[in-house]
Amino acid sequence: MRYGLVGLTVNLAGYAVYLLVTYLGAPPRAAMTVLYGVGAFGGFWGNKRLTFRHEGGVLRTATRYVLAHCLGYLINLAIFAVVIDKLGYPHQWAQAIGVFVVAGYLFLAFKFFVFRDLTSSQGAER
């Protein structure tokens, strides 16, 4: 629930900024790339502390976070390629779809890969 509320707020704001900067002339892929990076960078501590209340090590968690976001970025880029280049829809639709698809992927990646509780999973293996 916390992930959804935080994500909805951040993604709506990010999408509004995306629409503004592309309206002002920024190329869609460049705008998506910059905004994706800013959102990913800004979201680490919020997700670690607030959403998942993770107490694991920062270096290991940050490495996994970056890996999860690299794949998320590639998913968003693939959505652009299909929706804009192959199907011919406007970039605004591609980014709107990307926001929801990548948010869903990132929730699963964060929960089961990035911020998973290693102590409870190790205890279950014993």
- pLDDT truncated to tens, each residue of the chain (126 aa)? 777 777 777 788 889 999 999 999 999 999 999 998 888 887 777 777 666 777 777 788 889 999 999 999 999 999 999 999 999 999 999 999 999 999 999 999 998 998 887 544 444 443
Specify the pTM. 0.80
Amino acid at 126: R
- Measured CA to CA in angstroms, residue 26 lies from 18, 72, 91, 112 at distances of 9, 22, 12, 35
In a domain, 45, yes or no: yes
* pLDDT in the model for residue 118: 57
In a domain, 41, yes or no: yes
Query: Number of folded domains in the chain?
Result: 1
In a domain, 122, yes or no: no
* pLDDT in the model for residue 126: 37
In a domain, 61, yes or no: yes
In a domain, 68, yes or no: yes
* pLDDT in the model for residue 52: 73
In a domain, 37, yes or no: yes
CA distance 1 to 25: 36
Amino acid at 27: P
- Domain range for 33: 2-116
